[in-house]
Chain A
Amino acid sequence: MSKEVVKEKSMVLQKEMLAGLFKELSQAHETGKKVVYTFVPGNLSELIHAFDMLPVYPEINALQSGMRKNSGAFIREAEKAGHSEDVCTYVKCDIGMMLNGNIGPTGEKLPPPDLLLLSYTGCFTFMKWFENLERYYPGVPVAMLHTPYQEGGKITQEMRDYMVEQLRLEVIPKMEKVSGKKFDERKLAGILENSARAEDLIVKIFDTTKNKPSPIDAYFAGVYYIGPINTGFRGTPEAVIYYETLYEEILERVRLGLGPITPEGEMEEERFRLVVEGPPNWTSFREFWKLFYDMGAVVVASSYTKVGGMYDYGFRHDPARPLESLGEYCMNCYTNLNLPQRIDLLEKCITEYQADGFLVNSIKSCNSFSAGQLLMMRHLEERLGIPVGFIESDLVDPRYFSYSNIKNRLDSFFQMLGQRKVIKGQLEIV
């Protein structure tokens, strides 16, 4: 690695934004701001802002707990309370954190919810999660937004109508009641304008991986890039500024012909370009990432960065159709696409970003992602003749991160990619 890691301006901005949000949350009791617990995929951040409420994302808390090595204890706590070893560890981590006093990632106590916004996309476990939370916070209203699945590979008018009617008759009235404010569609439209601008920028950012070397890692660094757009800042001017700043920084890297920044500095030689399917492991995130950058492997696209919203095919929040576009946003998240759509999308990524290989990180406790990944691998291998790799870990349960297993599998995968490159090179010479 060539340089010391210097914090880029965008990193500082993001840190400040998140710290600000958590500060506001810790003061919610005094300021009287209402708190909405909700999920990342299918999040209605703009609507929450339109009612001047504050969002809490339990998955983000869980992943932060994972990164801070607290998740193992939280999970054990939830298991002591009767939860099975077999179920989603995000849920258990969140419940364990709650049972431990609900101390958030920044060390400050999170306020209890005033509303549980059960707007979930592409995963049934979210519903079970909030049913559990509802019992822990008796009396807190729950607003349910059920997102229909893109089973036929498209969004139909009746799906759209169903979403809009739920927003109109279920979600908005509950938000009005909790916030004590009337719904203001013009205010929402203004917020959506900012969303669309941030969405334009994030598409451009992830498109920069077309460059060789890729200026960014779209998975390991990608999870930081999607932070603001997924954690309640979509629709705010701060998010637009953040993405403008980030984009500028990345363009500068492209101009200078630089590779991605890693925790140990700049990656000097890009040896392998990968597309990765599945969420990362959080408990050993740095170690996990190092296994890649040490080998000169850069991820040029990942499905995980599309889980909180998919803007690749042109979807943007639309101020002219506020509720319809909120509905479309929810239906467009990655895990709400059917398997053929997901495979097509991955194929597009592999082709457009000229990946050398496709890798699945299968998460033990996440059926939403995991069920179907083996079929995806087979299809992509057959369609593109590309080497595919498979590793297994978990999001936040440290018991399921086996460094040596993952390393062995990755070593063989990279070896295969290396041989492939040599053969390809020889063929080109011939």
Chain B
Amino acid sequence: MNAAPLGAAFKPDKSRFMFAALQPLVETCKQTAFDLHFRHAKNWKAAEEGRVLVGYMPIYFPREVVHASRGLAAGILGGGDRKQIIKGDAYYQSYICHMPRGIIEMALDDNLNDFDGFIFPSICDVIRNLSGMFRMLGKGKFVKYMDFPQNFLPAVGGVFYKKELLHVQEEIFKINGYRPSTDELNHSIALYNENRALTEDIYDIRQQFPWRLSFEDLYFILRAGLAMPVEEHNNILSQVLDHIRQDIGEPMDKIKVVVSGAFCEQPPPGVIKSIEIAGCYVVDDDLLLGSRWIQGDIDADSDDPIGAIVDAYLKQSTFSSTVYDVGNPKESRLIDLARRRQADGILFAAPSFCDPALLDRPQLQKACDDAGVRYISFQYSENTGQFKVIKEQVGAFADSIKLWEEELVN
């Protein structure tokens, strides 16, 4: 429980100033993150001959591979609540999640022109078949469905995955004729290591002092990283860290929660905000899971950098509904995470009609029951416009925890 410490109301002015100083940066991130025309990324590409722009769908893709080939891998997360769906509904029945129809709409509306290729990670049948649609529509110079292995033996799944990554390199080579050296690949790995480390630092600070950076702002900052060069994003993350290392903001009487299940189709910002307004500090989440997929660093000093990326995938991947959890059950990993973050409870928030997330729910919830971790569950759609019900539900959950003043994560 995070009761406001004594004297919290008498913050020095400096704190408020520091807090406000972050806002222009957050605002820029927000613009970049939700620019459905990806202007920032397109401008980057246009600035130099030979650069390529690759779009990848949720959840994870090792962007290092594209970066080293003079490319930018930009995350495409759908149209959210900012894209009116007119044509997309003619591609997807009503009982399929919302995200792919926004992506198709963007592709048909030319939002994704200037992208050289598209990568569809193997997370579910909807994304898989979306890759076929892009092929049929002739979008990009290449369409690659990335079959991430579900076999984690280096000699089996590792060998297969490496060839998948080499295919991507080859596709980019066909476009710009560039093959990265070992050093260049290692450099790219180091940059993304830095990106992940900075992000984790932010999460670590927020765990203790979540009021220093709202979850909504954090979301904008991280999401912007999917649409800009990593060097730039690292710079932003460093600035954010400089800010939140200071004693800024004022703690409020909110509970700490982990949000789970929202790894693919993203909730609209209104839902994210509602969770906070309703009385929760989100101290961990899987919203932009791909950016935090690899836990810890990838070897950036290897003679075989692609091999290092593969190795990291096999051994250092986070847990997710889209990965077979051989002998390392995701429910224990979720409970561990909640404990590590000293969370008071878990919000299971998943997109409607999302088989991977929803089929995991009963097992995850059972694990919470067994471990005495409180939770609530709801579903959303990226274009949900009504937040009242979610706000009330989350509010009641937060109140019930505050009321009982119990230590919920034992």
**CA A367 – CA B93 in complex, angstroms?**
10
| In the complex, A283 has a CB within 8 A of chain B | no
Q: Which residues of the partner chain B approach A148 to less than 8 Å between Cβ atoms? A: 147, 160
**CA A142 – CA B151 in complex, angstroms?**
12
| In the complex, A338 has a CB within 8 A of chain B | yes
Q: Is the CB of A127 within 8 A of B365?
A: no
Q: How far is the CB of B7 from chain A (nearest CB, A)?
A: 45
Closest to B358 in A: A84
Q: Is the CB of A371 within 8 A of B359?
A: no
Q: Is the CB of B379 within 8 A of A367?
A: no
**CA A128 – CA B125 in complex, angstroms?**
12
| In the complex, A392 has a CB within 8 A of chain B | yes
Q: Which of A44-52, A64-72, A85-93, A227-235 contacts B (4 or more CB under 8 A)?
A: A85-93
1/0 per residue A401-415: CB within 8 Å of B?
Answer: 000000000000000
B residues 144-168 near A (Cβ < 8 Å) are 144-145, 147, 149-151, 153, 155-157, 159-160, 163
**CA A71 – CA B76 in complex, angstroms?**
39
Q: Name A86's contact: one of B90, B95, B131, B360 (CB within 8 Å).
A: B95
Q: Is the CB of B153 within 8 A of A338?
A: no
Residue in B128, B153, B160 with the greatest tally of chain A CB atoms within 10 Å: B128
1/0 per residue A143-158: CB within 8 Å of B?
Answer: 0101011010000001
Q: Is the CB of B135 within 8 A of A124?
A: no
**CA A81 – CA B363 in complex, angstroms?**
10
**CA A234 – CA B122 in complex, angstroms?**
30
Q: Is the CB of B150 within 8 A of A144?
A: yes
Q: Which residues of the partner chain A approach B151 to less than 8 Å between Cβ atoms? A: 144, 146, 162, 166, 170
Closest to B363 in A: A135
Q: Which residues of the partner chain A approach B126 to less than 8 Å between Cβ atoms? A: 367, 371
Q: Which residues of the partner chain A approach B132 to less than 8 Å between Cβ atoms? A: 338-340, 342, 372
1/0 per residue A352-371: CB within 8 Å of B?
Answer: 00000000001011011011
Q: Which of B12-20, B37-45, B213-221, B317-325 contacts A (4 or more CB under 8 A)?
A: B317-325
Q: Is the CB of B133 within 8 A of A375?
A: yes
Say what secondary structure dominates the interface of chain A: helix
| In the complex, A132 has a CB within 8 A of chain B | yes
**CA A14 – CA B155 in complex, angstroms?**
42
Interface size on B, residues (CB 8 A): 53
| In the complex, B288 has a CB within 8 A of chain A | no
Q: Is the CB of B144 within 8 A of A124?
A: no
Q: Which residues of the partner chain A approach B160 to less than 8 Å between Cβ atoms? A: 148, 158-159, 161-162
Q: Which residues of the partner chain A approach B277 to less than 8 Å between Cβ atoms? A: none
Q: How far is the CB of A179 from chain B (nearest CB, A)?
A: 21
Q: How far is the CB of B359 from chain A (nearest CB, A)?
A: 4
| In the complex, B80 has a CB within 8 A of chain A | no
**CA A102 – CA B349 in complex, angstroms?**
31
Q: How far is the CB of B218 from chain A (nearest CB, A)?
A: 28
Chain A contact residues (Cβ within 8 angstroms of B): what range?
A: 35 or more
| In the complex, B362 has a CB within 8 A of chain A | yes
Q: Which residues of the partner chain B approach A151 to less than 8 Å between Cβ atoms? A: 131, 144-145, 147
Q: Which residues of the partner chain B approach A132 to less than 8 Å between Cβ atoms? A: 359, 362-363
| In the complex, B352 has a CB within 8 A of chain A | yes
Q: How far is the CB of A13 from chain B (nearest CB, A)?
A: 35
Q: Is the CB of B145 within 8 A of A149?
A: yes
Q: How far is the CB of A135 from chain B (nearest CB, A)?
A: 5
Q: Which residues of the partner chain B approach A340 to less than 8 Å between Cβ atoms? A: 132, 135-136
Q: Is the CB of A370 within 8 A of B355?
A: no
**CA A102 – CA B264 in complex, angstroms?**
34
Q: Which residues of the partner chain A approach B96 to less than 8 Å between Cβ atoms? A: 367, 370-371
Q: Is the CB of B125 within 8 A of A123?
A: yes
| In the complex, A165 has a CB within 8 A of chain B | yes
Q: How far is the CB of A53 from chain B (nearest CB, A)?
A: 21
Q: Name B135's contact: one of A165, A335, A338 (CB within 8 Å).
A: A338
**CA A92 – CA B326 in complex, angstroms?**
22
Q: Name A84's contact: one of B147, B326, B366, B379 (CB within 8 Å).
A: B379
**CA A144 – CA B323 in complex, angstroms?**
12
Q: Which residues of the partner chain A approach B150 to less than 8 Å between Cβ atoms? A: 127, 144, 146
Q: Is the CB of B321 within 8 A of A149?
A: no
Residues A165 and B136 in contact in the complex (CB < 8 Å), given A135-B363, A374-B92: no
Interface residue ranges, B against A (CB under 8 Å): 90-93, 95-96, 100, 122-126, 128-133, 135-136, 144-145, 147, 149-151, 153, 155-157, 159-160, 163, 321-322, 324-326, 329, 352-356, 358-363, 365-366, 379
Pairs A-B, 4 closest by C-beta atoms: A339-B132, A82-B362, A151-B145, A146-B150
Known: A82-B365, A374-B91. 13 other contacts (CB 8 A): A88-B355, A124-B125, A128-B355, A128-B360, A131-B324, A144-B151, A158-B163, A162-B160, A169-B153, A362-B93, A367-B96, A371-B130, A374-B90
A-B contacts, 26 listed (Cβ < 8 Å): A86-B95, A86-B355, A86-B358, A118-B324, A124-B128, A131-B324, A131-B359, A146-B150, A146-B151, A149-B128, A151-B147, A158-B159, A161-B159, A161-B160, A165-B155, A165-B156, A165-B159, A166-B156, A170-B156, A338-B132, A343-B136, A367-B124, A371-B128, A372-B132, A372-B133, A374-B92
